[in-house]
Amino acid sequence: MPLLLFAVSAASADTKETSSGSPRPAAGYFGLRNSKYSNQANGVPEVAERLRDITVDPKEVADSQAVPAEVRSPKPAVDLTEGIYKYNAKIAMGDQGVALKMATIVRHENGAWTVTEMMETPSGAATDITILERGTLILKKRSLNQGTAAVNLEFTDDRASGSLDLNGRERPIAVQLGGPVFADAAGAQQVIGCLPLAPGYSAKFRNFDIQKQKEKLMQLTVTGQESVTVPAGTFDAYKVELTSADGGPDKATLWIARDSRKAVKMTAVLPQMSGATLTTELLQ
């Protein structure tokens, strides 16, 4: 899960009721705490309690929910290239919105790819760093930090292990996996751009849900190609639909430039925020 989607999930996975009885999003932590979506009287303690509620003991995850072992990561057509990508981001719900700034930095270091994704929010900066295997682009490590929250994970083909630390309280993560994790966290959009995209192309792959501490299956389909205009210019792009393949609420659309394979735009529905919409557009 990319940084911004994790931020929204962590901050807004629950709702509270206003004095009039209508639902409102829970107070945010990853960048939304001081936005129009939150009540400043609510803060980290509420989010800490919610994270405890939605963090699942790996021992309690039912085997029947495991992703089929035969689902393997798709093979990229090309490898990543070094670069810096800057985005405008906006979360919109009704007539309200939160504007954010994002940047993704891709570097080749120590025989692997290091991808750093940074997000500037009203309550401070959030950083997500991933280590990807060269060639396969399989996720090997992830480190996410914002304020007093931190997640550190290592991935093998059959295991995710590490810790979730919130306000100084560390919680171990140890989850059995059915296979490697792909196109998840920082650099996910750039990784998808490396696949052999063409109209009709489809693939399935695993992501890792930090809150529920289990793997999940994603379905990718290229539904066509079209011209899309963003602040960085107008691009002839593949339109890529991402949905859950195992009954989850995940739904997003990516536009990947055909010539450069840059991720130029993304929209995603956020069920954690009552159907709010996230949009990111390439600045440069």
Residue 115 buriedness (CB in 10 A; 0-12 / 13-18 / 19+): buried
Predicted pLDDT of residue 68: 55
Give the pLDDT of residue 270.
84
In the numeric block, which tokens belong to residue 240?
Answer: 């890529």
Dihedral over alpha carbons 247, 222, 128, 157 (to 10 degrees):
70
Domain spans, the chain? 3-56+72-282
Distance CA 129, CA 152 (A): 10
Encode the chain (284 residues) as per-residue pLDDT tens digits: 455 555 544 444 333 333 333 333 333 333 343 333 333 333 333 333 433 443 444 344 333 345 555 788 999 999 999 999 999 999 998 888 899 999 999 999 999 999 999 998 777 889 999 999 999 999 999 999 988 899 999 999 999 999 999 989 999 999 999 999 999 999 999 999 999 999 999 999 999 998 889 999 999 999 999 999 999 999 999 999 999 999 889 999 999 999 999 999 999 988 777 789 999 999 98
Supply the pLDDT for residue 272: 74
Q: How deeply is 201 buried, as exposed, middle or buried, from its count of CB atoms within 10 A (0-12, 13-18, 19+)?
A: middle
pTM above threshold 0.75? yes
Report CA 122 to chain centroid distance, whole Å: 19
Q: What is the pLDDT of residue 42?
A: 34
Q: Supply the pLDDT for residue 36.
A: 38
